Structure 1
Amino acid sequence: MEERREAVSEDGVLTRIGQAIMLHRAGDREEARNRLSALWHEIGPQGDAFHRCALAHYMADTQDDPQDELDWDLRALEAAEGFVTERRPSTVPAAGESGVAAAPEGSPGPRHHPLVALRAFFPSLHLNIAADYAALDRPADARAQLLRARASVNALADGEYRQGLRDAIHRLELQLGGAAGRTP
């Protein structure tokens, strides 16, 4: 019975993150930010890494200040990297197994094991951080993150999600090239 309650609780966190995302997409940025903030405090710094990554990833999008957005994106990356490096290979599901967590928006397939979903987050996380650095007029940092985004997008399966990320990486590269006075 305890396992069932824990699984429901974890699914509840993802549901609440999803509800806040829907509020944000519907135009209620402040309420989305308030709900995500409350959930962030509820989860805490020792909470589930997948939840912290997903929450911080979407919390960044609700920020008004570019530095705050960067701070949240860096929290998301830190949670993802910590989760991936701490996982033992024996805990990764075999091919064809499914787990409990949803992959990032637009990524292919049904729900995946959190490790698979977090790995799918990396290109988007690095791209978002690159965009944050660009907004803060830190082009060298932005380019470094774009290199990481490009490397991690190549690890994804072919599909719409991967292509969309590649296109976004290319657009930001062009923007940074123009901003630095280089020709794209």
Structure 2
Amino acid sequence: MAERQEQTASDAVMTRIGQGVMLHHAGDREEARTRFLDLWREIGEDGDALQRCTLAHYMADTQDDPADELAWDLRALSAARELTDDRLAGHEAEVAVRALYPSLQLNLAADYAKLGRSEAARTHLRQARGAAEALADDSYGDGVRAAIHRLASRLGDAGPGSTGEPGPPRRAS
């Protein structure tokens, strides 16, 4: 019974994150940011790692200041690293989390590039390329690989793993 209540609460948090994402995509960046921040306060710094990862990942997109965007993207990566096998029961969940890493690393590379920290940007770009091997051959994977290539081109770093194909904007998730 307690496990079912915990799952219901987790689903409710993820639903609220999804609602914030919809607000952001509809152009209400400020309301999305406000809701995400309220939800972050509820979850807490030590809350569920998957919820924190997801929320921080999307919260970064609502930031006006590149340094704030970087801080949220770093929180997302940190939370992703905390995910445990217990929380990710099943092969599909593990694969899904591995598929997050290329996007998380790409976001950090883009953040560092915005801040003029090109060496840090290249480091995270290389990590994104390496992690991209876990991506499926689907529209999400294609979009992330294309975003990696676009950032590499901007940084003048056309190393291995770039696709040469156009794709969606920076956030492919």
TM-score, structure 1 normalization? 0.80
- Name the structure 2 match of 1:30: 30
Of 128, 132, 135, 2:107 maps to: 128
- Name the structure 1 match of 2:46: 46
Letter in 1 for 2:85: R
- In 2, distance between residues paired with 1:125 and 1:170? 15
Matched, 1:144 2:144: no
- In 2, distance between residues paired with 1:158 and 1:80? 22
User: Which stretch shifts more, 154-163 or 43-52?
Assistant: 154-163
Letter in 2 for 1:28: D
Letter in 2 for 1:93: G
Report the 3-state secondary structure (helix = DSSP H, G, I; strand = E; otherwise coil) of the residue aligned with 1:154.
helix
Measured against aligned partners, the alpha-carbon deviations of 1:49-106 in whole angstroms (never above 9, x if no partner) come to 10000000000000000000000000000000121xx436xx6415xxxxxxxxxxxx
- Name the structure 1 match of 2:142: 163
Measured against aligned partners, the alpha-carbon deviations of 1:132-181 in whole angstroms (never above 9, x if no partner) come to 00000011110100100001111222222111111111110110118xxx
Letter in 1 for 2:50: F
Who wins on radius of gyration, i.e. which is larger? 1
TM-score, structure 2 normalization? 0.85
- Name the structure 2 match of 1:72: 72
Aligned residues: 156
- Name the structure 2 match of 1:61: 61
- Return 5+ residue gaps in structure 1 as ranges: 95-111, 179-184
Letter in 2 for 1:87: D
- In 1, distance between residues paired with 2:124 and 2:76? 14
Deviation at 1:116, TM superposition (A): 3.0
Deviation at 1:48, TM superposition (A): 0.8
Letter in 2 for 1:4: R
Matched, 1:174 2:172: no
Letter in 2 for 1:121: L
